[in-house]
């Protein structure tokens, strides 16, 4: 699909994307690059990173691969330092690195629970905390008064509750709160906007291959989106069109997070509602006569 944004919407911007070697992260990296941004991606698998950079370079996108773990402070600092050394500044941080799997709560070990929180929540804070010094107004390479942007990739499952996802909803709920709090503190003090995108079920992503494997037949499936949908939302936030958006958690899911199959067929509801309403009116008239 073609982008609705001008091809120069992010011209001159520099973005660092965690988990940018595959899935939604790579889609964001690709479309950021197509709209003029220079791209750095960090991940744990060198082969995936190298392949991603090769694909980006083939589209004339300037890209840098950094092998590292978002949970480790030294890796976060190195990724940020390398990005700024290569491109002269940092304008956008996208926190897309995540871990997930299906597991019943009673079978979920403390170590497994901790691992997801460390990758998602601690990793997001670790990268954001160290990126702040490069994103704030007055940072290297920034024009006077120019700030930066953090986009956290979260989810919608934590908006209510989700079967077999205790670890994930705990991690993402924390990221949502972190997003709002950093937006409050850093928006005012440092001119850094902090927002989150909450994807629904997205086709052809590593995450959904774990949550909706072929072996499981999902009944009453909500609408599925595409990686393109998430990338376009990220461009909106990163472009001048999103300059007044701060502290927002934006669901991009076609309304899937409040998708619930009806308990009764529509025709049953239509006929039943008339009966109930009629009964209610009769009852009211009886009470008034008494």
At residue 4, the 3 state secondary structure works out as coil
Distance, CA of 210 to CA of 206 (rounded, Å): 7
Q: Which domain holds residue 283?
A: 264-290
Residues 287 and 209 in one domain: no
**How would you class 49 by CB atoms within 10 Å of its CB: exposed for 0-12, middle for 13-18, buried for 19 or more?**
buried
88 inside domain: yes
Alpha helices of the chain — where are they, by DSSP H? 23-34, 46-58, 73-87, 110-117, 123-135, 166-190, 206-211, 227-238, 266-289
At residue 210, the 3 state secondary structure works out as helix
**Which secondary-structure segment (H or E) carries 149?**
strand 148-153
Q: Could you list the pLDDT tens digit for every one of the 290 residues in the chain?
A: 899 999 999 999 999 999 999 999 999 999 999 999 999 999 999 999 999 999 999 999 999 999 999 999 999 999 999 999 999 999 999 999 999 988 999 999 999 999 999 999 999 999 999 999 999 999 989 988 899 999 999 999 999 988 899 999 999 999 999 999 999 999 999 999 999 999 998 888 766 655 555 545 554 566 789 999 999 999 999 999 999 999 999 999 998 888 766 656 777 766 766 676 676 666 555 555 55
Residues 140 and 170 in one domain: yes
The domain total for the chain is: 2
Domain with residue 68: its CATH number is 3.40.50.720
Residues 217 and 160 in one domain: yes
210 inside domain: yes
> Per the confidence metrics, is the pTM higher than 0.85?
yes
């Amino acid at each position: 699909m073609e982008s609705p944004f001008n091809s120069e919407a992010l011209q001159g911007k520099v973005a660092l994307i965690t988990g940018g070697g595959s899935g939604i992260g790579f889609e964001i990296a690709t479309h950021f690059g197509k709209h003029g941004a220079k791209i750095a991606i960090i991940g744990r698998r060198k082969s995936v990173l190298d392949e991603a950079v090769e694909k980006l370079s083939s589209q004339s996108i300037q890209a840098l691969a950094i092998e590292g773990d978002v949970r480790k402070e030294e890796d976060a600092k190195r990724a940020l330092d390398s990005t700024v050394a290569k491109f002269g500044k940092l304008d956008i941080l996208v926190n897309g690195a995540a871990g997930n799997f299906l597991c019943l709560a009673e079978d979920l070990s403390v170590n497994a629970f901790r691992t997801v929180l460390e990758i998602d929540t601690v990793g997001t804070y670790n990268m954001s905390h160290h990126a702040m010094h490069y994103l704030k107004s007055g940072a290297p390479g920034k024009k006077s008064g120019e700030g930066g942007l953090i986009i956290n990739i979260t989810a919608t499952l934590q908006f209510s509750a989700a079967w077999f996802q205790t670890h994930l909803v705990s991690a993402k709920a924390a990221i949502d709160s972190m997003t709002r709090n950093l937006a409050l503190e850093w928006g005012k003090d440092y001119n850094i906007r902090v927002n989150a995108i909450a994807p629904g079920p997205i086709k052809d992503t590593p995450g959904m291959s774990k949550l909706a494997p072929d072996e499981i037949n999902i009944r009453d499936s909500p609408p599925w989106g595409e990686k393109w949908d998430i990338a376009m939302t990220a461009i909106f936030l990163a472009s001048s069109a999103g300059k007044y958006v701060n502290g927002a958690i934006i669901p991009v899911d076609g309304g899937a997070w409040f998708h619930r199959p009806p308990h009764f067929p529509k025709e049953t509801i239509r006929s039943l509602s008339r009966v109930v309403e009629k009964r209610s009116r009769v009852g009211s008239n009886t009470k008034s006569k008494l």
